[in-house]
Amino acid sequence: MNEDLKYEINKDLLKITLSGDYLLYDNQKQKSALYDVAKNSAINKIAIDAKNLGQWDSTLVVILFELIKIADFRKINIEPKSFPQGLSSLINLAFAVNRNPPSPEQKSSFSLEAIGAWGYDIYKSFCKGLAFIGQSIKAFGKVIIGKSQMRGIDFSFALEACSLNALPIVSLISFMVGLILAFVGAVQLSSFGAQIYVASLVTIGMTRIMGAIMTGIIMAGRTGASYAAAIGTMQVNEEIDALKTMGINPVDFLVTPRMLALVVTMPILTMWSDIMGMLGGGFVGVTMLGIPIQKYYEMSVNAISLNNFLVGIFHGFVFGIVIAVCGCYYGIYCGRNADSVGVSTTKAVVSAIIWMIVMTGIITVICQELEI
C-alpha cells in the first residue's frame, strides 16, 4: 500500500518525511500541494528524511527531482537525509544529463582547416565509391560464373520496372523533344528555304545524343531515385543488417539485379527514344511544315548513320551503368532515419545527372579524336 506524502512546516523550514512504500505513486493532488508549498516565498529551507522509506520506484524519483529543481530555482538549501544509495544515484544521474542540445561550433567560413576537412571528405567519398564499384564488378563476376546470390525473380521484377513500365514516360518525353527539335530547326532552316532538312536534323540529333540523354535523365529521376529510396528504406528498417546476419551479401542480393536490369534496358530504351523523337519531328514536318510524308521518310532514312546510331546506343549503355551505380550506392550508404532516405534519393538523382554530363563530354572527346 502506498503512503501519502507527509510534510510539515516549521517557520521557514519545509520538512518532508518519506516512510513506507512509494510504488506507482500517482496522487496528483498531493504532489501539486507539495510543490506549491515548496514554491512559497516563506520557505527558505527544505529537509527530506528517508530513514523509514520502504520500497520505491521511479515515481518517487520524479517527485524528488521536481523538488530539487524548485529549490535550485529559488536558490534555497535542500537537505536529503538517509537516502538509499540507489535513490541518490538516480537523482544525480537525472541532473547529470544535459537536455539542451549543444550549440554548434562557430567556425570561420574560410580557413586552412576547413579546406583540409573538405578535401579529406572528398577523398573518403571517392575511396568509398571506388570500393562500391569494385564490389559491384565482383558481383557481376559471380553472376557470370554462376556463384551469385542474386535471385532470378528479383532480376525479372527489376527488368519489368525499368523497361515496360518506363515506356510511356520515355515515349512522351522523346516525342516532345523531337517535336521541339523540329520547331527550332525549322525556324532557322526556313530562312534558307531548306525546311526539308528538318528531317535530317532531328534524325541525327536524336540518334547520336539526344535520345540517350533524354532517356538517361528520365531514368535517373524515375529508376535511379527508386533504387535509392527502396534500398535506403531497407537500411532504415535494418533489413540489410538482417541479410548480413544470414550470410547474404547485400550487393549480390539487392544491387546486382537492379544494376543488371538497367544496363540491359537502357540501350533498348535509347533506341525506342530515337524512334519516338523522329516521329515527333515527322509530326511537325508533315502537319505544320507541309513536307510530304514520303519525302520526310526518305530524308530521315538517308540521314541515319551507323556511327551515330552506335554512339547513341553506347551512351545509353554508359548512362545505365552510371544511374544504377549512383542509385544503389546512395541506397546502400543511406542513414538510419527517414530524412536520410530523402537525402539519399536527391543525391542519387543529382549525382547521376552530373556524371552523365561528365561521361557525355568524355565520350564526345574520344569520338572526336577517333573521328567517329
User: In this predicted model, which residue has the larger pLDDT, 106 or 61?
Assistant: 61
Domain 6-95 has CATH 3.30.300.30: no
Please determine, for residue 98, whether its predicted confidence score (pLDDT) is greater than 80: no
User: In this predicted model, which residue has the larger pLDDT, 237 or 27?
Assistant: 237
Q: Which of 245, 244, 264 is nearest to 324 (CA)?
A: 264
Convert the pLDDT of each residue in 129-149 to its tens digit.
888 888 888 888 888 888 888
- Mean pLDDT score of the chain: 85
Within 10 A of 254 (CB to CB), how many other CB atoms are there? 26
Enter the pTM of the model. Answer: 0.67
Q: Which of 327, 129, 322 is nearest to 224 (CA)?
A: 327
DSSP code at position 253: I
DSSP per-residue string spanning 72-128: HHHT-EEEEES--HHHHHHHHHHHHS--SPPPPP---SS-HHHHHHHHHHHHHHHHH
Domain segments of the chain as ranges: 6-95, 150-369
Please state, in angstroms and rounded to a whole number, the distance separating the CA atoms of residues 321 and 176.
Answer: 26
Buried b (16+ CB within 10 A) or exposed e, 316-344: bbbbbbbbbbbbbbbbbbbeeeeebbeeb
What spatial distance separates the first Cα and last Cα of the chain, rounded to whole Å?
92
Share above pLDDT 70 across residues of the chain, in percent, rounded to a whole number: 95
In this prediction, residues 263-274 reach a mean pLDDT of: 93
Cell 525556324 found at? 187
Residue 36: predicted pLDDT:
85
Convert the pLDDT of each residue in 160-193 to its tens digit.
888 888 899 999 999 999 999 888 888 877 777 7
Q: 64 vs 17, 37, 48, 75, 210, CA distance in Å?
A: 12, 14, 9, 16, 72
- Strand 6-10 with 13-22, pairing: antiparallel
